[in-house]
Amino acid sequence: MQLPIPGQSEALLRAIRVSQAVNRVRQMPTVFVANPLLAVFIALSYWERADHLSLVVFVAVMVVLWTPAALSWRRLRKLPRPVDVSPRNEMRALIFSAIAGTLWAIAAWVLYPVGGTEEKAMLVMMMSGLCAGSVAFFSSSPVASMLFFLPLMCALMVQVVRYDTAAQPVLPTAVGVFTLCAMLFTRTSWFQFVESVRILVERDEALKAARANRSELETTLAQMQDLAMVDQLTGLKNRRAFFDDAEPSISASRRRGQPVTVAVIDLDHFKSINDTYGHAVGDVVLREAARRIDESSREEHVVGRFGGEEFVMLLPFTTAQQALNAIERVRKEMSREPIVVPDGPTLTLTMSAGIAPLEQEMPITVAIDHADKAMYRAKNLGRDRVEVFGV
């Protein structure tokens, strides 16, 4: 039982089964700790309102149900990644999820009517948390996820409609919207998972074919390395290559006690260029913008494209004021001459940028986030300007 698999093949199906099994093993610790703990929390919250024996039995059943999961995780966590997994493995996961979901549905059905306002609100939040958690934990097994959360959310919806529609009409709507969103996210996560596995399968198949000829293998590996480090549209470093090259520069600056600054650059009104003239013109604009940024920067600067129209620059041995002067030069160069698109429009391009110092012991991702906030401030102040974080 499975959601649709676009372009399925035997190799893809086998890789999906293996990835699903591996992901479940990785997710087991959180799942088998969270479910019994939530059961204990709910039992304590309803202790004064529900039958004590029923609550104890509910918690005990949850502990017993999830104990095999804990034992399986302990047995499987150190084993090597399998090369194939039986389809029955997924069926066992579906049955287990359905049983767990049914138990939670029974709990929701029985406990909701006897609770007060606070207990009911707590139960809705706990069930919604279980629903969201199943989407995240079982993103590679969407049917298992739905068999877990749909019974409990449906039971909760019926009880909310029966008992609280008049007093709190927003509750049924909230539960329904949350359930619908969970189903949509489940489907989206599934297709993203399949696409990720497909990429791995295609990579493995390409490597197997390349091994038939040593020179072809060397060429393929070189191309894969280039693809992994270079943004193919602009020729700048991609996100991975940027971080790889940034670390040595940061370390060298810090060893000498020199400042380091980060800048985030975003092209102004780029979306309107794509919408008006098409993505082909947008690609020309991106390549020319990248060329101007690269040529306006110094050799020691690390420049990368993070996606879309956003570029990031690391400026070692540079204070925030010096970085401001450097990025101002880039900004002026960006709009100095119009971009002439062959057989297309002539466009004047501007940019907004944010600058942030990279303090001692601060992760570079934090400095990039600060620079990004400064860049958005530049956008809000009218664009075509450079702002410094914290100033």
Note the pLDDT tens digit of each residue in 127-145.
888 888 777 777 778 888 8
Strands 260-267 and 351-357: antiparallel
Q: What is the mean pLDDT of residues 105-109?
A: 90
Whether 93 is in a domain gets the answer yes
Residue 73 and residue 157 share a domain: yes
Find the largest Cα–Cα distance for the chain. Answer: 80
Asked if 113 and 51 touch (Cβ cutoff 8 Å), the reply is no
**Identified catalytic residue from 118, 309, 310, 333:** 309
Residue 264 and residue 134 share a domain: no
Residue 324 identity (one-letter amino acid): L
pLDDT bin (cut points 50, 70, 90) of residue 1 is: very low
Whether 231 is in a domain gets the answer no
Tokens representing 14 are 């086998």
Among 64-73, 75-84, 115-124, 264-273, the range with the most confident prediction by mean pLDDT is 264-273
C-alpha span between 151 and 14 (Å, rounded): 29
Residue 112 and residue 60 share a domain: yes
Whether 41 is in a domain gets the answer yes
Report pLDDT digits (tens) over 310-361: 999 999 999 999 999 999 999 999 999 999 998 889 999 999 999 999 998 8
Residues whose CB falls within 8 Å of the CB of residue 297, separated by 6 or more in sequence, listed in order: 303, 313, 326, 330
In this prediction, residue 51 carries a pLDDT of: 87
Residue 253 and residue 132 share a domain: no
Total structural domains within the chain: 2
Please state, as a whole number, how many other Cβ atoms lie within 10 Å of the Cβ of residue 128.
Answer: 19
Whether 224 is in a domain gets the answer no
Residue 126 and residue 260 share a domain: no
Residue 33 and residue 86 share a domain: yes
Query: Higher pLDDT residue, 167 or 363?
Result: 363
310 catalytic residue (yes or no): no
Whether 334 is in a domain gets the answer yes
Burial class (CB in 10 A: 0-12, 13-18, 19+), 31: buried
Residue 172 and residue 129 share a domain: yes
Residue 174 and residue 243 share a domain: no
Tokens representing 50 are 């529900």
Q: What is the mean pLDDT of residues 237-244?
A: 89
Asked if 141 and 24 touch (Cβ cutoff 8 Å), the reply is yes
How does 374-388 read in b/e, with b if 16+ C-beta sit within 10 Å? bbebbbeeeebbbbb
126 CA to centre of own chain: 23
Nearest of 113, 96, 101 to residue 46 by alpha carbon: 113
Residue 58 and residue 192 share a domain: yes
Whole-number average pLDDT of the chain:
85
Domain that holds residue 140: 10-206
Residue 48 and residue 191 share a domain: yes
Residue 99 and residue 20 share a domain: yes
Whether 121 is in a domain gets the answer yes
**H/E stretch holding 310:** strand 310-316
Whether 223 is in a domain gets the answer no
Strands 302-307 and 310-316: antiparallel
What CATH number is given to the structural domain containing 381? 3.30.70.270
Its pTM stands at: 0.48
Tokens representing 230 are 């270079």
Residue 152 and residue 277 share a domain: no
Residues whose CB falls within 8 Å of the CB of residue 259, separated by 6 or more in sequence, listed in order: 253, 317, 318, 319, 320, 357, 358
Whether 222 is in a domain gets the answer no
Q: What is the mean pLDDT of residues 195-217?
A: 74
Residue 382 has pLDDT above 80, yes or no: yes
C-alpha span between 350 and 268 (Å, rounded): 6
- What percent of the chain lies above the pLDDT cut of 90? 36
Residues whose CB falls within 8 Å of the CB of residue 252, separated by 6 or more in sequence, listed in order: 316
Report pLDDT digits (tens) over 72-102: 777 777 777 777 787 787 788 888 888 888 9
Asked if 315 and 299 touch (Cβ cutoff 8 Å), the reply is no
